Amino acid sequence: MLAKLRVGRFDPETSSPEPYFQEYELEVEDWFSVLDALIKIREEIDGTLSLRCACRASICGSCGMRVNGRAKLVCKTKLDSVWSPGETLTIEPMGNMPVITDLITDFTSFWDKVRQIDPYMQPTGPEPEAEYLASDESMVHLAGVMNCIMCGCCVSECTVLEVDENFIGPAALAKAYRFVADPRDGKAEERLKDLNEPTGIWDCTRCMQCVEVCPKDVDPMGRIMVMRDLAMEAGVKSTAGSRHTDSFVNSVKRSGRLNETRLTIESIGVMNIPGQLAMAPVGVKALLKGKLPPVRDHKIPSKKAVGEIVKKAEGKN
């Protein structure tokens, strides 16, 4: 079978570096992954093509790239699942990270954000002589998050990171959850307090991108939502976070849907002028990208039903 690949290239060593596409044609086998095809290019056709890969088995997290516009581990993506003979497959570097060369991106800010959440277990109390006792369920549950291989696919597609580079982002927040939910960690409350600040758990717009592209089913958004609940439960009040939820509830009550713009304004506090100004660039950027929702609520048809749900939920509390 002959395959055609359109590959994103970037050579930082030219006098005025610009990204461009290069097309390659090559023979492929039916068991090929996208990575197999790229390796074949690099080994047999064009050694100047640079990319990262190591394990070939979706465990090292090296090979995140955009395949037809969406971040994927190319080793785990069978060629015939994204391409059919006659078509051209497009491969580009991941988004929301600077490109170093060709398909290789710079993970510096990715890891800085992981560092930001104090990514190590902090038990309190005396260390036991043997292991810490913990239920198997709790460990199996955490394994769902430890499954994260730090590949960056979620970060590549996160819609908030696209407009606000300060957002801690899905990967680091999922990592934070791994400690918050670890029965052996003694700092859950402090962690939640920190995560409650701007750029933390309340900045996610629940766009689901991270959940959809994650190759390891880590479900970053789901973890973020659980941490919101935990923060509320822990009574981490009078912060951007809880104001956010009040605004959220009000918004849903008013219109039956979430008004993201009002939400942002209300979360920071309408009277908090510096805070509002700090957010302004994000709003402006979002507007420029056509992502800013209107300030006036659009009502949705089933508003009454939503109202019922809200009432029920409030009644239950």
Q: For binding to ligand FES (CB under 6 A), which residues are involved?
A: 53-56, 58-63, 73, 75
Query: By rule CB under 6 A, what count of residues binds ligand SF4?
Result: 25
Written as one letter, the residue type at 30 is D
30 binds another protein (CB under 8 A): no
> Please, what is the minimum distance in Å from the beta carbon of residue 70 to ligand SF4?
11
Q: What is the largest CA-CA distance in the chain?
A: 67
- In the list 26, 82, 100, 310, the residue contacting another protein (rule: CB under 8 A) is 100
* Per-residue mark of binding to ligand SF4, 148-167 (x: CB under 6 A): xxxxxxx---xxx-------
Written as one letter, the residue type at 293 is P
Residue 213 has φ and ψ, to the nearest 5°, of -90, -15
210 binds ligand SF4 (CB under 6 A): yes
Distance (Å, whole) CA 76 – CA 119? 27
143 binds another protein (CB under 8 A): yes
Q: Which one of the spans 41-49, 236-244, 248-256, 274-282 is the region binding another protein (CB under 8 A)?
A: 41-49
Q: Which one of the spans 132-140, 156-164, 218-226, 231-239 is the region binding another protein (CB under 8 A)?
A: 132-140
77 binds ligand SF4 (CB under 6 A): no
Distance (Å, whole) CA 72 – CA 64? 5
> Please, what is the minimum distance in Å from the beta carbon of residue 158 to ligand FES?
19
Toward another protein, which CB reaches closer, 35 or 204? 35
Distance (Å, whole) CA 268 – CA 307? 25
> Please, what is the minimum distance in Å from the beta carbon of residue 67 to ligand FES?
12
* 229, 222 contact by CB (below 8 A): no
Instruction: Give the H or E element holding residue 145.
Output: helix 136-146
- In the list 56, 206, 257, 291, the residue contacting ligand SF4 (rule: CB under 6 A) is 206
* Per-residue mark of binding to ligand SF4, 174-193 (x: CB under 6 A): x-------------------
241 binds ligand SF4 (CB under 6 A): no
Toward ligand FES, which CB reaches closer, 41 or 192? 41
Q: Which two tokens stand for residue 184?
A: 């052996």
> Please, what is the minimum distance in Å from the beta carbon of residue 273 to another protein?
37
Helix axes 170-180, 188-195, angle to 10 degrees: 160
Q: Which one of the spans 7-15, 176-184, 202-210, 266-274 is the region binding ligand SF4 (CB under 6 A)?
A: 202-210
Which residues of the shown chain bind another protein in the complex (CB under 8 A)? 11-13, 31, 33, 36, 42-44, 46-48, 50-62, 76, 78, 100-102, 104, 107, 114-115, 119-121, 123, 127, 130-136, 139-140, 142-143, 146-147, 149-150, 182, 184
Which residues of the shown chain bind ligand SF4 in the complex (CB under 6 A)? 148-154, 158-160, 170-171, 174, 204-210, 214, 216, 218, 220-221
